[in-house]
Chains A and B, each alone.
Chain A
Amino acid sequence: QKEVEQDPGPLSVPEGAIVSLNCTYSNSAFQYFMWYRQYSRKGPELLMYTYSSGNKEDGRFTAQVDKSSKYISLFIRDSQPSDSATYLCAKGGDYGGSQGNLIFGKGTKLSVKP
């Protein structure tokens, strides 16, 4: 069983829609989660970083962590064509594992149509 599972998509939505991106994880020994955005042939860009259960909001982006169900989500409000990219979830800080070793999902490719 992979440690971080993410639906690869592709996901296509109209401009202005609310986008929901999701990941599940299998190992409870964690400390934190991250969401990255990666445009084609570019490096990943850190969007959100969260430690605990609950919601964290930053502009149009909301990250949600549910530790009881091992589920993490990223919501994008009022989506724009410029949001079209691949979104990567990652977890890290496993007890007993390497410090800083991030484990990534495969990414979900999002397309926002004007």
Chain B
Amino acid sequence: DAKTTQPTSMDCAEGRAANLPCNHSTISGNEYVYWYRQIHSQGPQYIIHGLKNNETNEMASLIITEDRKSSTLILPHATLRDTAVYYCIVSLDRGSTLGRLYFGRGTQLTVWP
């Protein structure tokens, strides 16, 4: 699986957009980009995933560069409850991995009032 590089920590003012970057320069053509987050002392929570196109759901937007070597997770209006560790994961074609997730170190996002 391709490796990812994320900043160790970021902060964001409440109500502002939080933009979390992820580098995955060795990603291959059939690897997806997944984002999870983990609020302190809870289990990880799925946020969003994508292959080539930008994606949006009720939680966030995922912007993937045209060369697919990096992506950005956008929380459009961050709240205090969004304070968490955010993990960017790239993995093989969905059908072949049995849902295996290999977590990197992630980014600690702190939203301040």
Do the two shown chains form a genuine complex with each other? no
